[in-house]
Amino acid sequence: MRLLFEPGFFSSAPVQTAFVIGGVTAIVSAVVGVFTVVRGQSFAGHALTDVATTGGSGSFLLGISPLVGFIGAGVLGAGAMELAGVQRRRGRDLATGIVLGAATGLAALFLYLDTTRSATTGVTQQILFGSIFTVDPGTIPVVVVLSVVTLALIGWMYRPLLLSSLSAELASARGVGVRRVSLLFMLTLAISVGLSSVAIGSVLSTALLIGPAATALRLTKNLRKAFVYACVLGVVATWLGILLAYDSYYWDPSSQGLPVSFFIVTIVFLCYLVSGLTIVRRFATRRVIARAARVVEVA
């Protein structure tokens, strides 16, 4: 035990906060992420994280909570992308890229003003890469409520969303408002990205969104199982990342330890690579993981 968990790991308050926030945001990201990957909107999801960066740096300027900035900018960005034509498959990347470029430009301005006007140091780094250990425990209720709202939204529009993700033509033939569903989904995407920006920093929140979902979708063709796999993977990667980052402070007394987000992303990336190996895929679609998933589903 001592080898795995450095002293004070379980009794430390920042670690407890990190576990709760990390776990909750990982689940939301994984669920929203499965739809993001199925809809082929990874770029939009990533662009929203950069738009959230703009909001985060703007919130420092205005002196409001970063969470408000992250989510507010994300929602505005989602609206702008929708306006610029993100709903059409052709030219979608372009519309996303334009909004992304403009938003990053604004972020450059805000960060510049942040660093020149105020004496606070480390703002750039904190907004971009975040630190889950410095999250204020008071934000837990907000994060949990927003997560529940996001999941409820997804649950509420599950069938129309799924149908329009798989075939827009079929969905509109069935009377689904494809445009409205797409806009609503962009909104949930913006909220979930804002949440994970608080946890692991806006730059790396794409990893939690896309990584577990893409890995899960490689392991199973069954969508319901994919949700379960993605959630489990996301939560495990996040918690393991927190543990390793905490431990890394003890690895080398002279160094400062490595950031949580580094470990989370590395775990997520390795999982994606491994899931691409033919052996793993064949193995997964057969027995062991399928059985494990059944156990998780029952539990």
Partner 1 sequence: MFSGFMVNAWLVATIVAFVAGVVGFFVVLRGSAFQAHAIPNGAFAGAAGANLIGVNPLIGLGVFSLAAALGIGRLSRRGRSDVVTALALMMMLALGAAFISQSTQYEPQIFSLLFGEILGVSSSQLAPVAVLGAVCVLAVLVLYRRLLMTSIAPEIAAARGLRPERVEMAFLVVIACSTTMTVPVVGALLIFSLMIGPPAAARSFSSRPDVALLGSVGIALVTVWAALASSYVTNWPVGFYVGVFSAVWFAVGRAYAHLRRVRGVKRD
Residues of this chain that bind partner 1 (CB under 8 A)? 37, 40, 42-43, 45-46, 84-85, 93-94, 96-106, 108-109, 111-112, 115, 121-125, 128-129, 201, 203-204, 206-207, 210-211, 214, 218, 255-259, 261-262, 264-266, 268-269, 272, 276
% helix, strand, coil for the chain, step of 5: 80, 0, 20
Asked if residues 246 and 9 have their Cβ atoms less than 8 Å apart, the reply is yes
* Residue whose CB is less far from partner 1, 24 or 244: 244
State the helix-helix crossing angle for 205-219 and 278-286, rounded to 10 degrees.
Answer: 70
* Residue whose CB is less far from partner 1, 105 or 155: 105
Of 65, 36, 284, residue with least CA distance to 195: 65
Q: CB of residue 266 vs partner 1: minimum separation in angstroms?
A: 6
Q: CB of residue 199 vs partner 1: minimum separation in angstroms?
A: 14
* Residue whose CB is less far from partner 1, 85 or 144: 85
* Residue whose CB is less far from partner 1, 64 or 83: 83
How far is residue 72's CA from residue 113's CA, in Å, rounded to a whole number? 19
Q: Where are the alpha helices (DSSP H) in 39-139?
A: 42-62, 66-84, 92-117, 123-129
Q: CB of residue 175 vs partner 1: minimum separation in angstroms?
A: 28
- In sequence order, what E strands does the chain have? none
- Residues 122, 128, 134, 139: what is their CA dihedral angle, to the nearest 10 degrees? 130
109 Cβ contact partners less than 8 Å away, ≥ 6 residues apart: none
How far is residue 258's CA from residue 250's CA, in Å, rounded to a whole number? 10
Of 198, 230, 167, residue with least CA distance to 71: 198
Q: CB of residue 1 vs partner 1: minimum separation in angstroms?
A: 27
Q: CB of residue 173 vs partner 1: minimum separation in angstroms?
A: 26
How far is residue 177's CA from residue 184's CA, in Å, rounded to a whole number? 11
* Residue whose CB is less far from partner 1, 176 or 284: 284
* Residue whose CB is less far from partner 1, 109 or 223: 109
Q: CB of residue 195 vs partner 1: minimum separation in angstroms?
A: 17
Q: CB of residue 85 vs partner 1: minimum separation in angstroms?
A: 8
* Residue whose CB is less far from partner 1, 42 or 139: 42
